[in-house]
Amino acid sequence: MMVANPQPIDRLTLRGSLNAPALVLQGETLSYADLERDVAALAGWLAAFGFAHGSRVASWAGKGWLTCLMPLAAPRAGLVHVPVNPLLKHAQVAHILSDCSASLLIGNKGRLGGLEDGDVPADCQVKDESHVRAECVGTDDLAPSDADPDTLAAILYTSGSTGKPKGVMLSHANMWLGAEAVAGYLRLDPSDRTLAVLPLAFDYGQNQLFSTWYAGGAVVPIDYLLPREVVKAVAAHAITTLAAVPPLWIQLLEQDWREEAVAPLRRLTNSGGALGEPLVRALRKQFPDADLYAMYGLTEAFRSTYLPPSMIDEHPTSIGGAIPYAEIMLVKDDGNLAGPGEEGELVHAGPLVAQGYWLDQARTDDRFKPAPAASQYGGIAVWSGDRARYDDDGLLHFVGRRDAMIKSLGQRISPQEIEDAALATGLVAECVALGVPDAKLGQAVHLVARPTVGVATDDARAELVKALRRELPSYMQPQVIHWRDQLPRGATGKLDRTGLAHEIAGEAA
């Protein structure tokens, strides 16, 4: 296995050339020297509060100076950063602040004004982010830390699709090695400019910062309301690297991409859900000169697999194989490792594995368990609950979450397979297949779909039923197809499958 030599995460400020751009904000560009200066000042400001080592400090604001620097400054000050997704509402924020016993919450004025009595713990201080930068002037700067790489540096809360959000504990080593691994296989270099579109409270989004800074490149953070704003930003900043999740890629492909936006792109990266062959083909057609990286990951182990771009045309449905510092195994239901053509639970071992869930030993024990006996890394592994299979070439293909599988008439059905078939017709822009309780079938297959732009819904309704009858066996046929103008999304931009399942189950009751 590869030899790892992780460093404290705040030392990423030292990776780029002093005068090279590191962070491009609205109206301001910070060089690597500026980045180090400001992280040192922000860390000193945080240290001045006198919090105990390991105290949790939360940030809740849009992308900007504070939210981009806090992931480095808080650990440098010996504190644990808790980034809160700016899309969350007060009740979800209250849960996070209480769960992690936050000592400090820094947010923008509008969001802080939406909090209600009791949302903030009594011993948690609250600061308006607009004052922080000015208050950092004159503080005692902190030099790069010498923290033990295994020290807890951040808690990232999951989106809560399976209940209340749970805090995933990440060490300096987890984040440093994730940055190193991704910068390496994406072949990032100092000339790269990454458009940080995804939420920084999302591990995939935070790594946009870390991997780019590891490579000495520049990050351009953006908060957007409409997908066309992303296209404009790519052109305006000559972006080379664009990361997204499948629902966002679908929206972006519906935009007008002019040559000045297409030309600078060197690479596109996807995680947070399988692309599927139709989306892969569409992205390759729109961006023929950009490398397309299909990836798979989970917050508990950061990133697990990627498919080299040279293979995606021939293997459009594959998520590839293990990234550096990750060991990936498929464990069959009988406990043995899966081989070519076989399916199993995806298990991730190695130094990217997180330290468990914050103050939740029961759920930690359920997910973080000893690695299979055949593991080369050994130790504690993440048992993902996700199903995958090997093809005859040894490449991995995502099947679906164990708890999302549909069971109808004794058959075990992958929602992904139904969704792929629907998308392949060209009639559907995006869709979600669900199992709805049914007295006769156990679960009935329901499909929630948004028609492709330019396709009349009435036409799509009739043609999709015919197409699915041709492509899928009878037990996989949707009993009901629900058409929507828009599909709901969660805080990370993924389709809100849990919300849709509750909605459709309610309608069917």
pLDDT at 446 over 80: yes
Question: Per-residue confidence at 2, pLDDT binned at 50, 70, 90?
Answer: low
Classify the phi-psi angles of 52: left when phi > 0, otherwise alpha if psi is within -120 to 50, otherwise beta.
Answer: beta
**How do residues 479-509 score in pLDDT, each as one tens digit?**
999 999 999 988 778 888 888 988 988 877 6
In the three-class reduction of DSSP (H, G, I as helix; E, B as strand; rest coil), residue 413 is classed as strand
**How many CB atoms are closer than 10 A to CB 28?**
9
pLDDT in tens, 174-190: 999 999 999 999 999 99
Domain presence at residue 248: no
Instruction: Tell me what the mean pLDDT of segment 245-267 comes to.
Output: 94
Residue 461 lies in a domain: yes
Task: Give per-residue pLDDT as tens, 35-93.
Answer: 999 999 999 999 999 999 999 999 999 999 999 999 999 999 999 999 999 988 888 89
Residue owning tokens 């033990």 = 148
Q: Which of 115, 147, 179 is the last residue of a domain?
A: 147
Q: Estimate the crossing angle of helix 65-76 against helix 129-136, to 10 degrees.
A: 60
Across 341-351, average pLDDT: 94
- Please list, residue by residue across 433-459, b when 16 or more beta carbons sit within 10 angstroms of its beta carbon and e when fewer do: bbbbeeeebebbbbbbbbbbeebeeee
Q: Give the domain extent around 489.
A: 405-508
CATH code: domain of residue 409:
3.30.300.30
Domain assignment present for 270: no
How many CB atoms are closer than 10 A to CB 465? 12
Per-residue model confidence (pLDDT) at position 410:
67
- Tokens for 55, please give them: 């105290």
What CATH number did the domain enclosing 87 receive? 3.40.50.980
323 in any annotated domain: no
Q: How far is CA 146 from CA 9, 10, 181, 239, in A?
A: 10, 9, 21, 34
- How far, in Å, are 34, 104, 131, 193, 311 from residue 151 at the CA level? 26, 20, 30, 30, 38
Which of 108, 131, 147 is at the close of a domain?
A: 147
Of the three residues 147, 178, 213, the one that is the final residue of a domain is 147
Question: Has residue 416 been placed in a domain?
Answer: yes
- Determine the average pLDDT of the residues in 420-438: 91
> How confident is residue 159, by pLDDT bands cut at 50, 70 and 90?
low
pLDDT at 160 over 90: no
Strand order in the sheet with 291-296: 28-31, 21-25, 218-221, 193-196, 241-244, 267-270, 291-296, 305-307, 321-322
Q: What is the pLDDT of residues 364-418, one digit of tens each?
A: 999 999 999 999 999 999 999 999 999 988 999 988 776 677 878 667 788 888 9
Q: How far apart are CA 389 and CA 114, in angstroms?
A: 46
- What tens digit of pLDDT does each residue of 8-22 get? 999 999 999 999 999
Name which of 158-172, 329-343, 447-461 the model is least confident about: 158-172
Note the pLDDT of residue 127: 97
Spatial separation of the C-alpha atoms in residues 83 and 70, rounded to whole Å: 8
Pairing of strands 152-157, 193-196: unpaired
List CB contacts of 3: < 8 A, sequence separation 6 or more.
Answer: none
DSSP code for 170: E
DSSP alpha helix (H) spans, 146-288 = 172-185, 203-214, 227-236, 246-253, 259-262, 277-286
State the DSSP string of 19-67.
Answer: TSEEEEETTEEEEHHHHHHHHHHHHHHHHTT-PPTT-EEEEESSSSHHH
Q: Tokens 């679960």 — which residue?
A: 443
Higher pLDDT, 248 or 441: 248
Q: How many domains does the chain have?
A: 2
With a cut of 80, say whether residue 162 has pLDDT above it. no
Checking if the pLDDT of 224 tops 70, the result is yes
The pLDDT value recorded for residue 51 is 98
Structure tokens at 254: 């519906």
- Tell me the two tokens of residue 134: 């000015």
- Name which residue leads in pLDDT, 474 or 200: 200
Percentage of residues of the chain with pLDDT beyond 70:
97
In a domain, 412, yes or no: yes
Rounded to a whole number, what is the largest CA-CA distance in the chain? 71
Asked whether residue 392 is assigned to any structural domain, the reply reads no
pLDDT at 163 over 80: no
Flag whether 79 is in a domain. Answer: yes
Could you give the count of Cα atoms lying within 13 Å of 425 in the half-sphere of its Cβ?
29
How many residues are listed for the chain in this entry?
509
Q: CB under 8 Å to 170, separation ≥6 — which residues?
A: 152, 153, 154, 155, 156, 203, 302, 354, 355
The string of pLDDT tens digits covering residues 78-120 is 999 999 999 888 888 999 999 999 999 999 999 999 999 999 9
pLDDT bracket for residue 158 (50, 70, 90) = confident
Q: Give residues with Cβ within 8 angstroms of 47, minimum separation 6.
A: 77, 78, 140, 142
**299-323 burial string, b = 16+ CB within 10 Å, else e?**
bbbbbbbbbebeebeebbbbbbbbb
